[in-house]
Chains A and B, each alone.
Chain A
Amino acid sequence: TQLLEQSPQFLSIQEGENLTVYCNSSSVFSSLQWYRQEPGEGPVLLVTVVTGGEVKKLKRLTFQFGDARKDSSLHITAAQPGDTGLYLCAGRDGRRGGSEKLVFGKGTKLTVNP
């Protein structure tokens, strides 16, 4: 069974601070996706990383995929109240003939206080 562990589970910071969220597994994933979810809504795709060691930037958000494709991180610079939400990482099976389903972590609930 593939599992993704996210940390921290909860994070409350002040506007302007930087933060990093981690997503770890003992399994290899063919790709890893980061989503942001608001209460009562579906997850919204932020980015997909595919290649080991890949780094992608989306404005103040920086995403990294581990060299072995088992872990990922999300770094937010100068957080703003609009960044508040639940951040979910999700991986696709990296094995040949593996499932098309996404395996999700439990998420990191981020609160950015003004």
Chain B
Amino acid sequence: DTGVSQDPRHKITKRGQNVTFRCDPISEHNRLYWYRQTLGQGPEFLTYFQNEAQLEKSRLLSDRFSAERPKGSFSTLEIQRTEQGDSAMYLCASSRTSAGGEQFFGPGTRLTVL
């Protein structure tokens, strides 16, 4: 399978703990995106990378959130001091660098903060 993969698929944590999610994009895609989706809503943009450079961050991405893509391949999204409001599906997508580059999504990581 050469699609976008995410790990873990599910994460349950207690409030105040730190969590880290991983995303492996489609191999020839050099753009990688993170989105967050809460119940009853469409995905909301968090941040995106072109190769290893983080080019855009949403205001939704508070200082407790950090994303990295150190070698321009896989990416990690870390949430520090989790809050119950962080409970959501975290989605990763990747695309080529081209006009209209279509974004292909992974299966997501479902985070539950107790």
Binding site for B on A (CB under 8 A): 4, 30-31, 33, 35, 40-45, 48, 50, 88, 90, 92, 99-107
Contact = CB atoms under 8 A, between A and B. Distances in A.
B45 A103 contact: yes
Nearest to A106: B42
A65 to B, nearest CB: 12
Contacts of A35: 105
B61 to A, nearest CB: 12
A100 B106 contact: no
Given A31-B100, A100-B56, A42 B107 contact: yes
B108 interface: yes
Contact of A90 (B4, B42, B99, B107): B42
A48 B106 contact: no
Contact of A100 (B31, B41, B58, B107): B31
Nearest to A40: B110
A92 B105 CA distance: 15
Given A45-B103, A50-B100, A101 B56 contact: yes
B42 A105 contact: yes
B100 A106 contact: no
Contacts, number: 65
B105 A43 contact: yes
A41 B104 contact: no
Nearest to B108: A42
A88 B40 CA distance: 11
Interface string B84-108: 0000000101000001111111111
A4 B104 CA distance: 20
Interface in B34-73: 35, 40-45, 48, 55-56, 58
A101 B43 CA distance: 11
Contacts of A4: 42
A39 B53 CA distance: 32
Contact of B41 (A40, A92, A102, A106): A106
B60 to A, nearest CB: 11
